Amino acid sequence: MQSPETAEEMLRIAADAAASKGGEDLVALNVSEPLPLVDIFLLVTGNSERNVAAIADEVEDKLLESGHKRVRREGRAESRWILLDFGDLIVHVFHQEERVYYGLERLWKDCPVVPIELAEPVAGE
């Protein structure tokens, strides 16, 4: 990984944001070996187009608030698979059907899984 501290910090922010909006089945993969310009893919599932959009918007907002620059965003209009490219971290927010169909976990099965540690929920949330 080029900058593991930055990528891992971004992963924590993105994972917490995704979980706060109901994101499910979060998986992070270290793709730095086959993709030298990217360190981590974060895969997240939403249960509807509206949920996918809400998850992606929250992830994007939290990463921008933390000072990270978005390189690219794709798929927001359809909200079936939204890709958020933040350089070291690329977040894929899928509708359940798209996640199964495209099977990125299978495609990148040789890449190591990065542990995700979610923040403790605040009482009353």
pLDDT digits (tens, 9 = 90+) for 52-86: 999 999 999 999 999 999 999 999 999 999 999 99
Which ranges constitute the DSSP H helices of the chain? Answer: 4-20, 49-65, 96-102, 104-107
Confidence class for position 123, pLDDT limits 50, 70, 90 = very low
- Cα–Cα distance for residue pair 68/70, rounded to 1 Å: 7
Question: For the chain, what percent of residues have pLDDT higher than 90?
Answer: 86
Query: Closest by alpha carbon to 28, among 77, 91, 95?
Result: 91
The CA-CA-CA angle for residues 26, 74, 1, to 5°, reads 55
Instruction: Give the pLDDT mean for 17-22.
Output: 97
Domains of the chain with CATH codes: 4-114 (3.30.460.10)
